[in-house]
Amino acid sequence: MAGELTVTPMMQDALVILGAAGIVIPVFARFRVTPIIGFIVIGVLVGPFGLGKLVGEIPWLQYVTISDPEGLTPFADFGIILLLFAIGLELSFNRLWQLRKYVFGLGSLELLIIGSCGAAFLYYVSGMNGTAALALGFALAFSSTAIVLPISGTKSPVGRAALSMLLFEDIMIVPIVFILGALAPNASAEGVSGLTDTLIQGGFVVLILLVLGRFALPSLFSQAARTKSPELFLAATMLVVIGASLATSATGLSPIVGALIAGLLIAETEYHGEVESIIEPFKGLALGVFLITIGMSIDLLEIWADLGPIMLAVVGVLVFKAIVTGVLLRLMGARRSTAAETGVLMASPSETTLIVLAAATSALVVDTETAQFWQVVTAIGLTITPLLAMLGRFIARRIESTPELPDDDEDIARTIIIGSGRVGRLVADMMTAHEQPYVLLDSNPDMIARVKRDGYRATFGDAARGDALTRLGVEQAPAVVLTMDEPVLAQRIVTKLRKEYPNLLIVARARDGEHAASLYRAGASHAVPETLESSLQLSEAVLVDIGVAMGPVIASIHEKRDEYRERLEIDGGLSEKPKLRTSSVSS
């Protein structure tokens, strides 16, 4: 029948994934456990080795299982791309330059030592041939970008160390895959020349992206911001991410290289915070799909049948990688607690291990049976990575009771001033005069560009939408100051802030006394009417100019301000009756 809706397998799979996300995230958040484990467990249950085995006997299970596991691969890959894009947003080129010693020093040593020592062990102890041992050793040396960084972040000492090593590993994916092709039994000289061509073409494309992005991206996002349309802002973001990823993948480089560069370029603009906020839900869901695909690759019966060798391999890889990484960090000057926690966190293999194993198998470097064994080891390692993170934190606390604190400027508690107009800039000037950290937040891109040129610390974002205030650290902010001349918007923001942060100091600009009373009812700590302040300043000027002494005038101004504020609090429902006052003005 025309117009009849047909439920396709893809729709059923989407229902399973969305249902899993709706169950996993709240349940695991309630117990303060990372949802990473939950997504992997869901993958085990709904995959072909879980409930999928029973579909033939119980037909209705097809509605709660994944019918096409391979069909999820593009979505899982997109999750990794968005993750690397988000990492780039947090980095910026300046921060990446600061990490260069760790990226190319620590990262290269970690990959080289673990890969070569692992290859030597497999060659001499396991009896594997040299090419297969080399491929497998370097495959196991990789650690999981997709799981480690969401756990560690990028601003803590552990996060910075992990990020440095993972960045180098991501850079080395393409050369290692090409080298495996060159080492294949049927390889020719085209493998080496192909690597050279890829590096030259890839370098040229990266250079174009850097130049084009530096000049084009601020204009693109400025135009999107002017429309006040979240949809257009999201579309511009996806255009940049996907375009950069396709550009690098077209030359043979990994698409995550393009995603990382796109993030780094946007991080240099004032729109990076808003972009980060707007992609967060998509990144989390896409990453969840990736984790579900990892779970679907785990066959519990196969693990049970070969439990001894598998567990021995898992423990061996984890212990060896943790020791090597921890020792390298200590040699490079990291604290003992940081070295221990990072070593344990980075101990498991990676999703990249699966990529390298697949490349080695297709090149006939590693046989299928061996690859399947190590794929199971890798899947188990990925699954227990959150548990390793908890173990690492426990060991770090036992080694040193006082953890190393982040030293990033963005982690400093600062007053958030919403609105970068005349009043907002004046408040910022007073904060600077008294050496108090602050940041201006405004949804007008032209205003942000203007105040940044004038030397103010400012960022683009819409305080009424998304988590712009959350990413600026509102939970630790000394105060939030609302300076915009938009009564309805100000009241809505005050209501939202007071509900989410009961103890936050909220100071709001009010248009008049009635507006101030409504702001008090909404939860403002202080509401300052413009009419009151202008009247008091007029009174002060005329009294001083007609000869009244400055001291009594200032005292009476303060008294009148307190009296008026108390009356507003009564109107707003914050006080029951006015306090008795005695005049401090000389007769």
The span from the CA of 380 to the CA of 391, in Å, is 16
Report, as an integer, the average pLDDT of 506-525.
84
Which has more pLDDT, 321 or 527?
321
* Mean pLDDT computed over 88-104: 75
For residues 321 and 442, membership in a common domain is answered with no
**Nearest-CA neighbor of 356 among 78, 128, 196, 170?**
170
Q: Which residue has the higher pLDDT, 193 or 70?
A: 70
Least confident range from 190-199, 352-361, 444-453: namely 190-199
Residue 452's pLDDT band (cuts 50, 70, 90): confident
- Counting residues of the chain whose pLDDT is more than 70, the rounded percentage is 81
Q: Which segment of 66-80, 317-331, 411-425, 537-551 scores lowest on mean pLDDT?
A: 537-551
| Banded model confidence at residue 540, pLDDT cuts 50, 70, 90 | low
* 363/484 same-domain check: no
pLDDT at 232: 84
What is the spatial distance between Cα 137 and Cα 123, in angstroms, rounded to a whole number? 10
Residue 458: pLDDT over 50: yes
Q: What would the mean pLDDT of 139-150 be, rounded to a whole number?
A: 83
Q: How much is the pLDDT for 586? A: 38
Q: Are residues 392 and 418 in the same domain?
A: no
Least confident of 64-68, 241-245, 326-330, 582-586: 582-586
Residues 289 and 421 in one domain: no
Whether 545 and 483 map to the same domain: the answer is yes
- Residues spanned by the domain of 295: 68-188+282-399
Residue 303 maps to a domain: yes
User: pLDDT grade, residue 327 (50/70/90)?
Assistant: very high
* 332-351 mean pLDDT: 86
Same domain, 442 and 418: yes
pLDDT tens-place string over residues 17-34: 777 777 776 776 676 666
Domain CATH for 475? 3.40.50.720
pLDDT range class, residue 581, cuts 50, 70, 90: very low
Instruction: Kindly tell me if the per-residue pLDDT of 582 is higher than 60.
Output: no
Of 147, 158, 184, nearest in space to 106 by CA: 158
Same structural domain for residues 381 and 428? no
Residue 264 forms part of a structural domain: no
Question: Residues 440, 459: contact at Cβ < 8 Å?
Answer: yes
Rounded average pLDDT over 332-336: 83
H helices of 31-156, in order, are 35-46, 73-98, 100, 107-124, 130-141, 145-152
* Same domain, yes or no: 73 and 182: yes
322 and 436 together in one domain: no
Q: Domain end: 399, 422, 441, which one?
A: 399
The answer to whether the CB of 47 falls within 8 A of the CB of 66 is yes
**Residue that wins the pLDDT comparison between 5 and 257:** 257
307 is a domain residue: yes
**Residue 587's pLDDT is what?**
33
Give the pLDDT mean for 155-161. 80
| Of the residues 378, 399, 420, the one at which a domain ends | 399
Work out how many domains the chain is built from and give that number.
2
Residue pair 559/530 in contact (Cβ under 8 Å)? The answer is no
Give the pLDDT band (50/70/90) at residue 210: confident
Query: DSSP per residue over 195-230, as a string?
Result: HHHHHHHHHHHHHHHHHHHHHHHHHHHHHHHHTT-H
Angle subtended by helix axes 255-267 and 272-296, to nearest 10: 150
Helix (H) or strand (E) holding 459: strand 458-460
The reply to whether 454 falls in a domain is: yes
Q: What percentage of the chain carries pLDDT values higher than 90?
A: 6
Domain assignment present for residue 336? The answer is: yes
CATH number of the domain residue 153 falls in: 1.20.1530.20
Task: Tell me what pLDDT residue 174 has.
Answer: 67
Domain end among 399, 417, 452: 399
- Between CA 585 and CA 551 the distance in angstroms is 9
pLDDT band for 462, please (50, 70, 90 cuts): confident
Q: If you average pLDDT over every residue of the chain, what do you get?
A: 78
Shared-domain flag, residues 173 and 304 = yes
Residue 491 scores a pLDDT above 60: yes
User: Is the residue at 52 inside a domain?
Assistant: no
Lowest mean pLDDT among 27-41, 120-134, 414-428, 452-466: 27-41
Domain membership of residue 46 (yes or no) is no
pLDDT > 80? residue 532: no
3-state SS of 126-195 is: CCCCHHHHHHHHHHHHCCCHHHHHHHHCCCCHHHHHHHHHHHHHHHHHHHHHHHHHHHCCCCCCHHHHHH
- 476 shares its domain with 370: no
The string of pLDDT tens digits covering residues 393-448 is 888 888 875 445 444 445 577 899 998 888 888 888 888 888 888 999 888 877 88
pLDDT for 259 equals 84
Does this model's pTM top 0.85? My answer is no
Examine the domain organization and report whether 546 and 466 are in the same domain: yes
Least confident of 4-18, 176-190, 547-561: 176-190
| Cα 85 to Cα 237: distance, rounded to the nearest angstrom | 10
